Amino acid sequence: MNDEVEVVCPVCSPKIAVPHDVLKGGQNPVVQCQECENVHPTKIEKVKTFNVKVIISKGEESFTQTTILTSEEDLMVEDEIIVDDGESDEVFPILITAIESGEKRLKKANASEITTIWGRAIDEVVVKIAVHKGRNTEAMHKRVPGGYEFIIGQEEKVDKTKIRIKKIKIRDGSLESKTGIAIPAKFIKRIFAEEVFRKSWGEGKTQWSMKGKGKGW
Ligand SMILES: [Zn+2]
């Protein structure tokens, strides 16, 4: 059984799912938030998945792939997504140029309605980051090249916030938490991080940390 799930926490993260330990499974699961240790009941929902055809243009060529989407996903023309068939090692970041639902072309559709996605290959991806700040969790994003590696335990700058990466949810659904593991951006579903408030002494990066601090120094 699952011993770790991502669900919302009524205390510290009512909107964004964050990692929880499952204390009791079954019909009425009880979980404990890894951020604030609040114990609460939850619903662990089963999402449907769909294999959707994607036609990707790259320069002069175009090729066909499939991607796995879930019933939770609504897509729009101009959205950036990562095409991932869940089997091969290769994934393709694209910009959606058209969405087909049967005979119709839609500007916006739920994954369940889509028959074909048309897209243009792009090099950069937007990585979602859930940042635990004090008592709240905030959704942030960072745009990076698809091959850019995020390393668990390391610090990153997102806009003006300095964060430390704690866990990385990978596209295949697994959750990595081992310090030092590096994962390329294009394979990441979500990063879980905490805000870095002050430098930790003895890490040998004092000057750099102070520089990154901004106001108040
Ligand atoms: Zn919590």
Cα 140 to Cα 121: distance, rounded to the nearest angstrom: 24
Ligand 1 centre from 193 Cα, in Å? 14
pLDDT value of position 213: 44
Ligand 1 centre from 4 Cα, in Å? 14
Question: Which amino acid makes up residue 143?
Answer: R
Phi-psi region of 133 (alpha: psi -120 to 50; beta: other; left: phi over 0): beta
pLDDT value of position 210: 45
Ligand 1 centre from 100 Cα, in Å? 40
Ligand 1 centre from 138 Cα, in Å? 12
**pLDDT-wise least confident of 81-95, 116-130, 195-209:** 195-209
Ligand 1 centre from 160 Cα, in Å? 24
Tell me the residues surrounding ligand 1 (ion) with CB < 5 Å: 9, 11-12, 33, 35-36, 38
Ligand 1 centre from 170 Cα, in Å? 22
pLDDT tens track for 29-52: 999 999 999 999 998 877 899 999
pLDDT tops 90 at residue 134? no
Q: What is the topology classification, in CATH, of domain 49-122?
A: Ribosomal Protein L25; Chain P (2.40.240)
Ligand 1 centre from 134 Cα, in Å? 11
pLDDT value of position 1: 46
Ligand 1 centre from 5 Cα, in Å? 13
